[in-house]
């Protein structure tokens, strides 16, 4: 069974790795649809928005923490509540750690104010040099480069934080 919509993973208790596989199937389904890359880039539609802002960060959490002795079940809940997913964890690792066996995950994303302009430029086939250098002129977004050399610095474009609450 290939996951093609949010209802197939909403409110279902799944093994963490199965959850990740279904989320990736859904991502590929959206990406391969007509205008799918643009939908993802611009976060248009509920599915693309949920994928990028909730489901993929939850998958990263699961992949970073699932291991022999720490098995994770995930139940993603689509809606307006204080958490994005419920998790249950068990195994030998859990018996000797202070991590709660039942908890809730909340994904919080912080983006630069010009992040949408960078995505808009890229979606229109343009080039974005840095999020700080991207701005809107009268009708369209533009990105300028201040220096003629490559400046080595890290720009905060998007940071996601997962909060684990028992």
What's the pLDDT score for residue 109?
81
Identify the burial level of 60 via C-beta atoms within 10 angstroms of its C-beta, where 0-12 means exposed, 13-18 middle and 19 or more buried: middle
Distance CA 66, CA 94 (A): 11
More confident residue, 163 or 110: 110
What's the pLDDT score for residue 59?
96
What's the pLDDT score for residue 65?
94
Specify the 3-state DSSP secondary structure of 119: helix
Structure tokens at 149: 């050399």
More confident residue, 50 or 120: 50
Segment 26-40, tens digit of pLDDT: 999 999 999 999 999
Give residue 111's pLDDT band: very low, low, confident or very high (50, 70, 90).
confident
What's the pLDDT score for residue 50?
95
Region 83-88 average pLDDT: 95
Distance CA 100, CA 72 (A): 11
Angle at 73 between CA 64 and CA 52, to 5 degrees: 55
Region 123-149 average pLDDT: 70
DSSP for residue 62: H
Q: What are the domain boundaries of the chain?
A: 6-165
DSSP for residue 54: I
pLDDT exceeding 70 applies to what percent of the chain? 84
CB atoms within 10 A of CB 103: 16
Q: Provide the mean pLDDT of the chain.
A: 84
Pair 112, 120: CB distance under 8 Å: no
- What distance lies between CA 4 and its chain's CA centroid? 17
Q: Inform me whether the pLDDT recorded for 123 exceeds 90.
A: no
Angle at 142 between CA 140 and CA 144, to 5 degrees: 165
Give residue 166's pLDDT band: very low, low, confident or very high (50, 70, 90).
low
More confident residue, 125 or 76: 76
């Amino acid at each position: 069974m290939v996951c093609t919509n949010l209802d197939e993973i909403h409110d279902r208790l799944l093994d963490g790795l199965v959850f990740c596989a279904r989320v990736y199937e859904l991502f590929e389904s959206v990406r391969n649809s007509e205008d799918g890359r643009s939908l993802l880039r611009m976060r248009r539609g509920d599915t693309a928005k949920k994928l990028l802002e909730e489901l993929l960060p939850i998958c990263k959490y699961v992949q970073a923490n699932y291991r022999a002795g720490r098995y994770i079940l995930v139940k993603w809940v689509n809606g307006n509540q204080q958490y994005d997913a419920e998790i249950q964890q068990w195994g030998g690792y859990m018996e000797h750690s202070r991590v709660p066996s039942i908890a809730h995950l909340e994904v919080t994303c912080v983006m630069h104010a010009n992040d949408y302009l960078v995505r808009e430029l890229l979606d229109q086939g343009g080039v974005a040099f840095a999020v700080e250098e991207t701005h809107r002129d009268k009708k369209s977004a533009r990105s300028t480069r201040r220096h003629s050399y490559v400046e080595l610095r890290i720009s905060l474009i998007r940071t996601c934080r997962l909060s684990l609450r028992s």
